[in-house]
Amino acid sequence: MKWDQVKRDWLSVSQQIKLKWGKFTDEDLAMISGDRESFVRLFEQRYEDDQTTAEQKIDAFVLGLTLPTERSKILSWSQHCWNNIRSLTRVRPRI
């Protein structure tokens, strides 16, 4: 994956970052907002790495990222909507 994709899908990527590197808070990730340089600087602070090491770790992580395809996003959303409709239209037994 390339960084422009990371920036575009930051919400999804940020959740994966939290799973991999637990020292980042929601506020940190909101502040970074897909900006690579901000991410590297904060990574250096949180993990006490130098810039080169931080960049290498981040780049390796980004290279291994796979985000859901548009089709799978649509299918997931459709399933979510269907479940909501089913829960709202369930017939309740009379007492």
Q: Would you say residue 55 has pLDDT above 90?
A: yes
Q: Name, in order, each residue with C-beta under 8 angstroms of 54's C-beta and a sequence gap of 6 or more.
A: 40, 43, 44, 47
Output the pTM of the full model. 0.68
Given pLDDT bands bounded at 50, 70 and 90, which one contains residue 95?
low
Residue 17 sits in a domain whose CATH number is: 1.10.1470.10
The pLDDT value recorded for residue 89 is 74
Given pLDDT bands bounded at 50, 70 and 90, which one contains residue 23?
very high
With respect to residue 43, please indicate whether it lies within any of the assigned structural domains.
yes
Domain with 21, as residue range(s), is: 3-67
Structural domains of the chain, count: 1
Find out whether 20 and 5 touch, Cβ atoms under 8 Å.
no
Q: Would you say residue 46 has pLDDT above 80?
A: yes
With respect to residue 49, please indicate whether it lies within any of the assigned structural domains.
yes
Q: Would you say residue 73 has pLDDT above 70?
A: no
How many CB atoms are located within 10 Å of the residue 16 CB?
Answer: 17
